[in-house]
Amino acid sequence: MSAQQHDHNHDHDHDHDHESSSHDGHNHDDHSGHNHGAHEDQNGSHGAHHKNVFSTDCGSAAQPVYHEGYDPAGTAIHHISDANVLTIMDWIRIPLPAIIYNTDRGIEFFSTAKFEPGHHDDGHYGYKDYVLYQGNIHRIKCEAFKGADKFEVQGFDIGHGTNAAGKEIEKRYAIVDSKGYLIEQKTIWDGGLLGGGVTSFYDLSPTKNVVTMGIVALLLFLMFRAVAKAYSRRDGQAPSGLQALLEPLVVFIREEVAIPFLKHKHKRFLPLLLTIFFFILGLNLWGQVPFLGSVNVSGSLTVTMVMALIVFIITNINGNKHYWSHLLVAPGTPWYVKLILVPVEILGLFIKPLTLMLRLAGNISAGHIAILSFVGLIFIFGKAGTNFSGSLIGTGLAIPLTLFMMAIELIVAFIQAYVFTILTASYIGAAVEDHDDHH
C-alpha cells in the first residue's frame, strides 16, 4: 500500500502501523474517487497524536499524519485569525485574489482557488511553491518546487528548530509525497516579536479582513447616503426608517461626546468622530454574525493600530501652542519636577494610541474566543464526535453559555465603539482647547 493510500484510508482507532513506503509513480492529476478525509483531519485544531521529526528542511521522510482529540484553543485562534480565503459556516469557501511579491520572481497574481482549501482552510493542493496552511499562504523553501505547477499536499505537520540567534522556534512542514518540506510564512514586520520576520515573499493580497472592511464601508456609505436623501426629500417631517435608526446615534455622539470635549470646535471634528464610531460599530456587528465569515476585523491589532495612528496624527497636528507648552515646558512647575514630569508627558503621547489599539483589539478578540470556547464544549464532552451522550451534555452547556456571551458581545460592540470615540474626542479636545477653556 502506498503512503498516499495509507494516509487517506487510516481510521482513528490507531491500530495501523506508521511505516511509510515510496510514493513513486503516483499520478497527481488523477484523483477520481480520491478521499480528502485525511486532509480534513490534518489541521492544527486537533491534538497531535505524534509529531514527525524532520532531519532536514527539504524532503525529510515523514510518517502519515493523523490526529486525535480536540484543541479548543487552536480552533478559537484559527477562527479569529485573518486568512486568504473567506469561509462561511465552514461549508462555503470563497477564494480571494492572491498578490504575492516574490524576491526571486517578482509580482505574481493568482486565485486561492488553486489550493482547493478544505477543512480549517488547509489547501489540498499546492501551486508553484506555495501552499495554503490554515487559510494563509506559505512558501515551500525547497528549490525543487520552483518549477512545479500543481501538486497534492497530504497534510501539514509541525517540528521544532532554532533560529539564527539560537532561540528555539516552531517550524511548519508540508507533507508532499510522504516527505516533509519546510514552509515559511509571509514577511511580517514585527521584528520577531510576534513570531514574524523577513522571509522570501510578501503577501499583498486582500484578505478576508480587508474584504470585510470594504463591504462594511460600502454599506455605511449607502445607508448614510439614503438617509441624507431622505432628509432632503422629507424636510420638516419626522424621521422614519433608517433616519429614525441613525439619528439618535448621531445626536448622541454630538451631544454627549463631541460638544463636552471639543466645545465650540466640535463641528470641525464631528465627521471624524462619527466615522470612527459607525465604522467600529459596523465591524463589530458584522463580526457577530457567524455565517458571514467569522471575521474579527476590529480584533485585529493591525486594524486597530492604523486607527490609533490616525488619531495620534490628527491629535498632534492640531495641537496648539497651549497644548505643546504644557507638554514640553510645563510652565509654573519647579525644575526638579520637570525632570520627571516632561518625560512622562512625552511618553504619554505614545501610550495613548497604544492603549487605544490594545483595548479595542483585546476586548473584541476575547469575546470571540469565549464564544468559540463554549461551542467547543460540544466536542470536548463528546470526545470529538465519538461519544453521543457527551455531545448532548456539551450541547446543553454550550447553547445557553453561547447565547449569553453573544448577548454580552452585542453590548460590547456598542461600548467599544463608544469608548474609542470618546477617548479620541478627549485627546483631540486636550490638544485644541484654548487657555480660556479652563474657565
Spell out the per-residue pLDDT of the chain, length 439, in tens: 333 333 433 343 434 443 333 333 334 444 433 444 344 444 444 444 445 666 666 766 665 554 445 566 566 666 678 899 988 877 788 999 999 999 989 999 999 999 999 877 899 999 999 999 989 999 998 888 877 789 999 988 887 766 656 677 778 899 998 888 999 999 987 666 666 788 999 999 999 999 999 999 999 999 999 999 999 888 888 888 899 999 999 999 999 999 999 999 999 999 999 999 999 999 999 988 877 767 889 999 999 999 999 999 999 999 998 889 888 887 888 888 888 888 998 999 999 999 999 999 998 988 877 777 777 666 666 555 555 676 677 677 777 877 887 788 889 999 999 999 999 999 999 999 876 655 5
Rounded Cα distance between 175 and 156, Å, is: 6
Q: What is the pLDDT of residue 52?
A: 63
Q: What is the pLDDT of residue 357?
A: 95
Q: What is the pLDDT of residue 75?
A: 64
- Give, for 160, the enclosing helix (H) or strand (E): strand 155-162
3-state secondary structure of 104: coil
CA 175 to chain centre: 26
Q: What is the pLDDT of residue 193?
A: 63
Q: What is the pLDDT of residue 88?
A: 82
Task: Give the DSSP per-residue string, 268-315.
Answer: HHHHHHHHHHHHHHHHHHHHH-GGGT---GGG-HHHHHHHHHHHHHHH
Neighbours of 334 (CB within 10 A): 9
Q: What is the pLDDT of residue 6?
A: 38
Residue 282 Cα distances to 64, 124, 199, 217, 256, angstroms: 44, 34, 35, 8, 20
Neighbours of 305 (CB within 10 A): 16
Note if the pTM is more than 0.75.
yes
Neighbours of 78 (CB within 10 A): 19
Residue with cell 467547543: 376
